[in-house]
Structures are given as structure tokens and as C-alpha cells.
Structure 1
Amino acid sequence: MSAEGCLFCAIATGERPGNVVFSDEVAFAFLDVRPVFKGHVLVAPAAHAETLTDLPAPSVGPFFERVQAVATAVERGLEAGGTFVAMNNRISQSVPHLHVHVVPRNRKDGLRGFFWPRTTYDGPGEAEAYASRVRAAL
């Protein structure tokens, strides 16, 4: 199920490009185009839901199992010391499709509190290289 005009639904169906690292009937995960750190992944439910409260209760567990798998893959694939896992509901949610941020973290990486400086990839090749590393760890 997708919503008309939803950017994330368009990425899930392949109508729009995205560095997808995982996809199944429950969720899909892809690189954030404005990452906090390179390798920052967004995990979204395959069926359109705007917020966590809109996700049907039976879907919550399976969805977060995918979030857990992606967090593990980001750590392993990128050799990160850990991850920062977060979600916004409406406020600060730039795309109205539920998504969880999985951000690779390392000690002294400069991230403090909820100030999220953003970076960019050097180009499509570098983005795909990061996506490939996470994909291989899944």
C-alpha cells in the first residue's frame, strides 16, 4: 500500500531512486540523502503509515525487528562503535511516512545531544559503496 505523492513510497516501489539496503514485505531501508554521518540509514514500513501511531499494532514488532537488523548491519558493515536510533512523529518529520533513523556512531564523532549536523556523499559512487557495505552485512 502506498500513498499518492509520498517520496518514500516512490523509493519503495522503485519509481524514485534510492540507495536501498534492505526490502521485504514489512519494511525497506535506504541511505538518507542528507546523512548525519555517512552510512545513515532510514528504515520505513513497506505499507504507508505516517507516524508510529498509524502503524497497525500487529506490524510494530515485525517492523522493529527490521530496525534491529539494520542497526546491527550498520555497526558490522561500517565497523561503527554503535548506532543512534531515533524517530520523529510529525514534528521534525520531513517526509510524512514513518521512518526510523539508524545513524552509525563512534566515540568522539562530534555528535552532541539532538543537534544533527548533516554531511553529503562525494557522489553516487560513494553513496552506493556505503549502501553496499550495509547490504552485505544484512
Structure 2
Amino acid sequence: MEECDFCSIASGRAPANVIWEDEASLAFFPLRPAAVGHTLVIPKSHYEDLFETPQPTLSSLIQAVTLVGRGLRAALGPDGLNVINSAGEAASQTVFHVHVHVVPRWHGDHFGDIWPPNDAYASEVKDEIAEMVRQTLSP
């Protein structure tokens, strides 16, 4: 199997503009940032997506995301931050190494709203879906 791009960056075999790292995680600027300060945070170990990643790695990853987000807020003073993870091709994941985007946002920036407007579900549909999910989460 060919090594993924993010594994190459994590191992130091591919260049990246790294802004932070520790033993478990790495934060760097993507090649095509969505905004000034847009940062990717990855675990150094390869896992395809959030749901394949073991809990200890997820804990380290969210600590790294929080640290990087605080650093971006202090350095750039954005009005807000988006913290985004995409899992699977249908969710726009293009690099299949779990990663979190930390994107500084400003009022009136070129993004606009990230959530499309939609019609509310009927309460019966909400109840049915809620029960289906509860059943899958029950021990």
C-alpha cells in the first residue's frame, strides 16, 4: 500500500509548514487554505477516519485541536473558528487520514454560512430517527 500524503508529512518525508507538534499529533497549513490561518491537525498514526481512530488517539487529537485553535485566536484575532472533520467521500473527505480543519472566520468573510438552510423534519420523523439511533447506542 502506498503511504498517504499526511503520513509522509507526519514522518518528515514530505514538506509542510508545520506550526505545532508533539509525540502524537501534528498541525500544519494545507496547500490550498480556505482562509488565512486555516490549519490541519492530524494524528501522526494513520487512521482512515474519525470512526476508525482509537479513543486515546482521539483524545490527543482534540487536545491538539483545542491548543491550535487557541493559538490561532491569539495570533489572528478572528471573530470565530470552524472546527470541521469530514468522514467519508460523501462528506467531502479527500485525504483518507483522519484530520481536523481549524479555520479562522471573520464576520462578512467569503465563506458565508456553512450550513445550508433546510426545512424542519416532521416531529414524527425526528422521533423515529431518534429511536433508531438510541437503539444502536444501547448496550
Query: What TM-score, normalized by structure 1, do the two folds share?
Result: 0.76
Q: Does 1:93 align with 2:98?
A: no
8 Å contact from structure 1 (residues 24, 46) kept in 2 = no
| Shift in Å, 1:44 | 0.5
Q: Report the CA distance between 1:65 and its aligned residue.
A: 0.8
* Cα distance in 1 for residues equivalent to 2:4 and 2:114: 26
The residue number in structure 2 matching 1:112 is 112
2:78 alignment counterpart? 80
Distance in structure 2 (CA, Å) of the matches to 1:101 and 1:58: 20
The percent identity for this pair of structures is 38
Compare CA radii of gyration and give the structure with the larger one. 2
Give the gaps of 5 or more residues in structure 2.
116-139
Cα deviation for residue 105 of structure 1 reads: 0.8
Matched, 1:42 2:44: no
CA deviation map 1:34-58 (0-9, x unaligned): 1111210000011111101111112
How many residues get paired? 113
How well do the aligned residues superpose, as a CA RMSD in angstroms? 1.6
Q: 1:114 to 1:82 in 2, by over 3 A?
A: closer
**CA 1:4 to 1:24, structure 2 compared with 1: closer, same or farther past 3 Å?**
farther
Q: 1:5 aligns with which of 3, 6, 18?
A: 3
Match of 2:129 in 1: none
Alpha-carbon separation, structure 2, partners of 1:108 and 1:114: 13
CA distance in 1, matches of 2:40, 2:80: 16
CA distance in 2, matches of 1:44, 1:58: 14
Name which of structure 1's ranges 3-12 and 91-100 shifts more when overlaid on structure 2: 3-12
Distance 2:78 2:110 in 1: 14
Q: Give the TM-score taking structure 2 as reference length.
A: 0.75
> Is residue 84–residue 101 contact of structure 1 (8 Å, CA) maintained in 2?
yes
1:90 offset after TM fit, Å? 1.4
In the TM superposition, what whole-angstrom CA distance separates every residue of 1:50-108 from its partner, at most 9, and x where no partner exists?
Answer: 10111111222221011011111111112222211101001211111000000011111
| Bigger relative contact order, structure 1 or 2 (CA pairs below 8 A, ≥6 apart) | 1
